[in-house]
Structure 1
């Protein structure tokens, strides 16, 4: 007879479950990008075709509010204190504005102008600077987020996306013309151009665990992995179908690549920089974010107009 204080024998229910979609919600238009607040309770999802941002609650997934009249919102960044969301309006070929949304009332409080074509945005860790990859003007532009004034600009050939190093000393820019550009943020000068995989880059991301950068290339089906300390390319991950965005799990070694043409998400071991598995069930996954507790991944699917929650 089993004693009450003896450990219960393991059962099949105790085995780790594979990552899978557990919940999906429809949102207006064609969702492309999304960001999450620090608590993991709110998602802000851009839909360019309807000119809207959908605010979602996460547990369970539900629509809280839809903000309209935003032109063609594509790129989106949230401030470290969650008080503001910055979103580009790419409804015009030139003169892309950036709308500043106050999240307390979800209203536009400022529109930043003077840019040509916004192709990427990032903020520093303190939220005092917003950096914009102005592809049309071939510049990396910095704005003071307290005044919304332009405080610096650095010539960078064909910038497509930008990410800021965790110590706020450098900007890393994926470019059409010269690969990976490194900008010293003290002098606002380019200190290096480093060759990357062939084909135009799509997005750039910085690992929270290692000094590694990941640059996706949708057309060539590759991801360039760069060591930011050397700096140089350390690896290429190939045979992907339309790699788009990368999201990191801060509580594990895992990262996730949305393969927008492959209808799936690939799982990367960032210590070994190799694919270890896939998550199926999507149409055209684009933007992604991992919840702060590392348990769920949220994915914008541009093809079926939805956001999915994936159990990790």
Structure 2
């Protein structure tokens, strides 16, 4: 595990967190990802007009919209190659994954053989792509050099997936009220823990602690799981439609979109408590933090915009 970063109190940025600018995008923006250096933001819109909007983050201008990708919802950005993976959820079954060359923003391939693709995650080298196939009740490992299936691990109703730092394990949130950990060396289940009854919208691994955060919009809760004990570390309650969480790159802090509260919650990941909110959003969904840790980007599905946020 990497050394702990400076404490939140050591942050020299005295300006309050706030929205700096909003940029209109097409369709209903849902999830978004940054490229490696944070210079480009890719925003998925699954409802007409569908596509993936590409934004230049230096001035928050729209560069292009990638079309011919069906109804994209789930995104995964390769950590080193010019490659973006996007699910096409235009149909309930036989969901394909579209492969996009981000140097030209063109579609170069499509990966099939799935039932219903939900969450996707790459390991830190980009050699493996892991897919939560909800309809098939499995997690599929794909070799990104040839986009061939390596193996599938049975996980009931897998909804979203993340890879832990170090690439030793993945963690899966399921609509079967489960949190599952998979050994990525053997692709076997290490443990499966009951969480809460609900529909998870996302799972993410903390940067500096051995914990996963699972958001439950329908319950207004975030389940925080301790990956060393395979048990709940804490449960945050009374939230307003928690949808997705992103972690600060330098500090022990996380940011949580609350779709039904039109706000982003600020979480101290040491104390596992909500310490503040950033208001002014319109049904926020996806969130991504820039590599510098000073800026975040939030997809507003309510008014078809992306917000640039000072952290």
Q: TM-score range by the shorter chain?
A: over 0.9
Pairwise CA distance, 1:94 = 0.2
- How many residue pairs get aligned? The number is 299
- The answer to whether 1:23 aligns with 2:15 is no
Is the 8 Å Cα contact of residues 36 and 42 (structure 1) preserved in structure 2? yes
**Aligned match of 2:8:** none
**Aligned match of 1:255:** 254
Following the alignment from structure 1 to structure 2, what is the Cα–Cα distance between the partners of residues 15 and 288? 21
TM (normalized to structure 1)?
Answer: 0.94
Which 4+ runs in 1 deviate beyond 6 A? Answer: none
**Aligned match of 2:43:** 45
**Secondary structure of 1:65's partner?**
strand
Following the alignment from structure 2 to structure 1, what is the Cα–Cα distance between the partners of residues 223 and 202? 10
**Aligned match of 2:235:** 236
Residues 123-272 of structure 1: pairs in structure 2 closer than 5 A:
123-272=122-271
Following the alignment from structure 1 to structure 2, what is the Cα–Cα distance between the partners of residues 55 and 149? 27
TM (normalized to structure 2)?
Answer: 0.94
Q: In the TM superposition, what whole-angstrom CA distance separates every residue of 1:201-240 from its partner, at most 9, and x where no partner exists?
A: 1110001111110000011000000111122111000000
Following the alignment from structure 1 to structure 2, what is the Cα–Cα distance between the partners of residues 254 and 247? 9
**Aligned match of 1:36:** 34
Is the 8 Å Cα contact of residues 209 and 250 (structure 1) preserved in structure 2? no
Is the 8 Å Cα contact of residues 76 and 86 (structure 1) preserved in structure 2? yes
Is the 8 Å Cα contact of residues 197 and 236 (structure 1) preserved in structure 2? no
Q: In the TM superposition, what whole-angstrom CA distance separates every residue of 1:251-306 from its partner, at most 9, and x where no partner exists?
A: 11110010011111100000111000000001110001111111111000011000
**Aligned match of 1:11:** none
Pairwise CA distance, 1:26 = 0.1
Gaps of 5+ in 2: 1-11
Following the alignment from structure 1 to structure 2, what is the Cα–Cα distance between the partners of residues 38 and 150? 25
**Aligned match of 2:7:** none
Pairwise CA distance, 1:84 = 0.1
Structure 1 residues 15, 41: CA separation in 2 closer, same or farther (over 3 Å shift)? closer
**Aligned match of 1:8:** none
Q: Over aligned residue pairs, what C-alpha RMSD do you find?
A: 1.2
Following the alignment from structure 1 to structure 2, what is the Cα–Cα distance between the partners of residues 15 and 287? 24
Following the alignment from structure 1 to structure 2, what is the Cα–Cα distance between the partners of residues 264 and 307? 13
Following the alignment from structure 1 to structure 2, what is the Cα–Cα distance between the partners of residues 15 and 218? 31
**Aligned match of 1:81:** 80
Structure 1 residues 57, 225: CA separation in 2 closer, same or farther (over 3 Å shift)? same
